[in-house]
Structure 1
């Protein structure tokens, strides 16, 4: 296809938008739509390449794959090796293991599938994933693999004219699926190809149904309308809105209009836009690790660090473009070229896989290259798999729940809650001379009558029902301790996702339904036994082991992270009020961790003596948990 400067300029707009969003530049909350611009461009170019060759019966599937591999795989492989090395030297082992898994998914172009089974793209854990941005490369590569095969098969039976309308139909179907899926499961709608393919097919529609405008003024007006659509999307769309869904139509159509009219524009055709457009792929590859580093280090809002990161990104992108994208060419037969690119993929997969197995089988290998300070951090970080997973934290799909007993003798305490409940067990262990029953479920709001839309947490609902029934016949007078990360459930993002009596329509609606159900739940159990409720534990706000490790890299020492106690009260005021109301109604006992975390009543600490008090951004470490033991002593002074 003929090189088009306007499309190259659109690439510059797309990658700049992505950078504005990822580096948290104020006023550009919807700049993540840069990826959607890339999707439309890819669809236009791929459709043009394939149809132009199919029309004259000269399309080669192998050639098509080779050209895509040449552009994408070498630069991505270099990035993967670079983050592999960085992680080996500087990341806590637990985070490094997760990175190695992501490296494999990225180079195999399935990272979007992995992310679709995790949390939202916009949530904090995702923003700390070093290769999160590879999700879009995976979506595009999957499209590149499937799209030409579908067109070849259709061409055997249909005319090109008929295929055009089939593509139009498929785009509409994908769009409808996207809108519906965004309502029911926005994470899957965001990451998975079936719900994103309409954006690339939209680019194909531009090629297949060209606009024929004889009036240059009309063409200019259409182009300006496209610019306005993109600009409005960047400024006014934000992460609280359903995405991609119907809102994605705005930037997609805007991009389509600009490509359709093919007009000269200073915005697109100036030398800076052209240069940025040429290296846009490498910019996209290299910018994200710097954004992650700034996020973890707490420097993402400091302009000087953002400027430095932006400049380093441009330098690395230029080097990547000049020495990898344009220089790596394998001048051999088609089969040999395919084999060479497959070998690159195999090398990266083997590198990450072997490293993962070495870390698993020889966990002390990295200790030889760790400083004493780093070893403290690494030991706490590893608790993500140790302190919680071994204490009977059940999963979402279980229907029957075997008794989970920790300690010896008769149970003298029952802990009910989510992963925060499991995390405080080391404290209980220090002060409980007998056994503890742990009835805990990951990401479970332990309240009677809770409903999750689409039955997302059946195990959680079943667990509470079964254990409440058990309490009516067994464990008479054994105290129950409730520990839940309540603020994470009763929040704006869960409006419509969690409800108790009827689907919720507002945060206030969710809060009021929760309050009534929560007080009823704890008071029902308190009728026949002592009930203790732990007030919300302060959250760190950032992954503390990651932050400390990165601080060692950047500053040579760990940098303390503290949070004002006012943030704690602001985030938890409704929950604290609800707990107090429950106490008034049924005389439950309230326990509080604030005297430990926020001893001066002004700021809350996240580290102590060089040890992280959290193993991520909200779960307390075993080190911290053991120091909370005195808080729970009153439970065991209870006399039945």
Structure 2
């Protein structure tokens, strides 16, 4: 295929919004669709080259994979090397083990599957995963492996129907993505079968299955519409818009832009061929590789400081562009120039050696338990809570639903006890983390549990995340169980936000009209990062008050507002914040080196036991009064 400067310009239009979105520059809320633009470009270029080579009889699988290795791996491995050094210096043992797993999966071109499986609600946030962005590379690498094999088979066995191949793939993949989006949003986002339609769209354009405009008028209409669509999605879109709608619009825009210059350059093509855009497009691969690790390590305060958020963002962008240029100039270009003079055996051998060595280092991290000798023992002990498993305490998969594939166990979680007062705890994970502590502190009470991830206790159900089961759990609790069974108390708890208060008011009115006694538990103190990480950093930096400087603002004020609101609606209110924080000080440890919380806000089992004890002491009379009346 002949070189097209406009496609390098389109690469710039893809990578710049991704970088700005990740850095946090305002106005680019839809910038993440740049990855989808890359998928369309890759499908167009790769399948176009394969198609041309197969048709003229010059295609070689060995040469194809050799070129892909020289194009992708050298710059990728340099990024891996530098990132791994920083990870070794900074990451606590649990974090280093997680990093090694992500590195091994990236080397094996399956990091998209790894992150799809590990990006649960309680998993470490994206900002702590320096290799998270390799998921998209794994999607492309899997496509590179499968596409030429499929094309060879179909072109030889069914040459007259060869062009239908990618249309069928696109249709099946898109239909599967729609179906999966209703069950598991993570899988839809990360996994190749549900992204293949995007690459297939580019392939369909390359093999001329999709018609292209021939006249100047229609070329300009096509290109202009595509650019407007892309810019509109990038500037006006957001993560709250359904993913498939965003990606569909972005891919359609990319197809229109590429098609507009397929048989002669359009106005959009000329615009994208401007030297500054082409220059960014040339370094776009390296820019994508480097920008995310820089952002992650900057957020750990490991790289550099800045006087303001704006200067930090500008410094990050400048550094990312500088590293990208060096990577392109010193790594990408030299290795790509070796394509003709280097044998396949040498390339495959060097790649295998590099991959094998990296796998061995990852295995060493596992066997060394994350190299704890790098830190003082107290830091290691605190850091173990970064790998804390909350499933037993939360009763995950039974009474706390955190994934669509899980089913609520009503027989266990809503079992009435005729010998004790029965209270029903309803809410999200911030209700679930209190269940064990409240149950232990008040053994005279049967506390039932109906909780789901990011699911506010409201009538009707209010779902904040992508969990479809939220509505089912809330409907069961409010409109089935409470309608058909008598309980002594309903306890509502959640990670309350200001926007939840109108629905909370309506819910309290609904429950009051049914004659149900309600206690609302307020929000708990939260932090900008996982509390064990902050506590460890405070020790390592000799800054004992570090965690207190990272508290999420506004929660104390929200606690006061909620107290007045709940009492105005005739319900009882208990402050979880006050159970943890007093006189401007928040308890960060339960005892010794056991943190109160294992992430930004959720309680450890010991933390839940302590908070449950304090809450029972504060409002125990409110909760047990019914018990005295019943007996």
1:249 aligns with 2:248: yes
Change (3 A) 1:381 1:185: closer
Q: Deviation string for 1:160-206 (max 9, x for gaps)?
A: 5x322342343244334434544554433222222222221121222
Distance 1:230 1:64 in 2: 31
Aligned to 1:3: 3
Q: Deviation string for 1:200-226 (max 9, x for gaps)?
A: 112122222276666545534433332
Aligned to 1:614: 597
Change (3 A) 1:538 1:31: same
Distance 2:9 2:317 in 1: 19
Deviation (angstroms), 1:238: 1.0
Secondary structure at the counterpart of residue 360 of structure 2: helix
1:146 aligns with 2:146: yes
Distance 1:132 1:300 in 2: 28
Aligned to 1:268: 272
- Tell me if structure 2 keeps the 8 A contact 1:12–1:273: yes
- Tell me if structure 2 keeps the 8 A contact 1:393–1:440: no
Distance 1:592 1:400 in 2: 29
Q: Deviation string for 1:534-564 (max 9, x for gaps)?
A: 3332333443344566688899884643557
- Tell me if structure 2 keeps the 8 A contact 1:445–1:484: no
Change (3 A) 1:553 1:86: farther
- Tell me if structure 2 keeps the 8 A contact 1:226–1:254: yes
Aligned to 1:62: 62
Secondary structure at the counterpart of residue 28 of structure 1: coil
Q: Deviation string for 1:300-340 (max 9, x for gaps)?
A: 98011112222222233233333433344586653553344
After the TM superposition, which residues 535-550 of structure 1 pair with which residues of structure 2 at under 5 Å, given as runs? 535-547=522-534
Deviation (angstroms), 1:58: 2.1
Distance 1:572 1:36 in 2: 44
- Tell me if structure 1 keeps the 8 A contact 2:453–2:467: no
Change (3 A) 1:189 1:554: farther
- Tell me if structure 1 keeps the 8 A contact 2:459–2:507: no
Deviation (angstroms), 1:227: 2.0
Change (3 A) 1:32 1:613: same
1:310 aligns with 2:317: yes
Stretch of structure 1 that moved more, 282-291 or 184-193? 184-193
Deviation (angstroms), 1:241: 0.6
Match of 1:534 among 521, 536, 540: 521
Secondary structure at the counterpart of residue 43 of structure 2: helix
1:349 aligns with 2:359: yes
Q: Deviation string for 1:453-484 (max 9, x for gaps)?
A: 9974799799989xx89xx99xxx9x989574
**How many corresponding residue pairs?**
589
Stretch of structure 1 that moved more, 89-98 or 33-42? 89-98
Match of 2:327 among 303, 320, 325: 320
Change (3 A) 1:424 1:177: closer
Deviation (angstroms), 1:242: 0.5
Deviation (angstroms), 1:14: 1.1
Distance 2:467 2:577 in 1: 36
Q: Deviation string for 1:86-144 (max 9, x for gaps)?
A: 233212333333322222222222222233345589x9923443222112111111211
Distance 1:216 1:555 in 2: 67
Q: Deviation string for 1:553-591 (max 9, x for gaps)?
A: 8998846435576445559967984687473xxxxx643
- Tell me if structure 1 keeps the 8 A contact 2:102–2:111: yes
Q: Deviation string for 1:251-284 (max 9, x for gaps)?
A: 2222222222332756433433233222211111
Deviation (angstroms), 1:31: 1.1
Secondary structure at the counterpart of residue 243 of structure 2: coil
Aligned to 1:92: 92
- Give the CA RMSD over aligned residues: 4.8
Change (3 A) 1:610 1:326: farther
With normalisation by structure 2, the TM-score equals 0.76
Secondary structure at the counterpart of residue 130 of structure 1: coil
Match of 1:393 among 381, 392, 395: 395
For structure 2, the 5+ residue unaligned runs are: 414-418
Distance 1:491 1:187 in 2: 25
Distance 1:68 1:46 in 2: 10
Distance 2:452 2:306 in 1: 31
- Tell me if structure 2 keeps the 8 A contact 1:446–1:464: no
Distance 1:486 1:517 in 2: 21
- Tell me if structure 2 keeps the 8 A contact 1:374–1:549: yes
1:632 aligns with 2:616: yes
Change (3 A) 1:380 1:8: same
Stretch of structure 1 that moved more, 252-261 or 178-187? 178-187
- Tell me if structure 1 keeps the 8 A contact 2:213–2:222: no
After the TM superposition, which residues 466-545 of structure 1 pair with which residues of structure 2 at under 5 Å, given as runs? 482=491, 484-485=493-494, 487=496, 515=508, 534-545=521-532
Distance 1:580 1:428 in 2: 25
Aligned to 1:561: 549
For structure 1, the 5+ residue unaligned runs are: 405-409, 493-506, 584-588
1:370 aligns with 2:375: yes
Stretch of structure 1 that moved more, 605-614 or 26-35? 605-614
With normalisation by structure 1, the TM-score equals 0.75
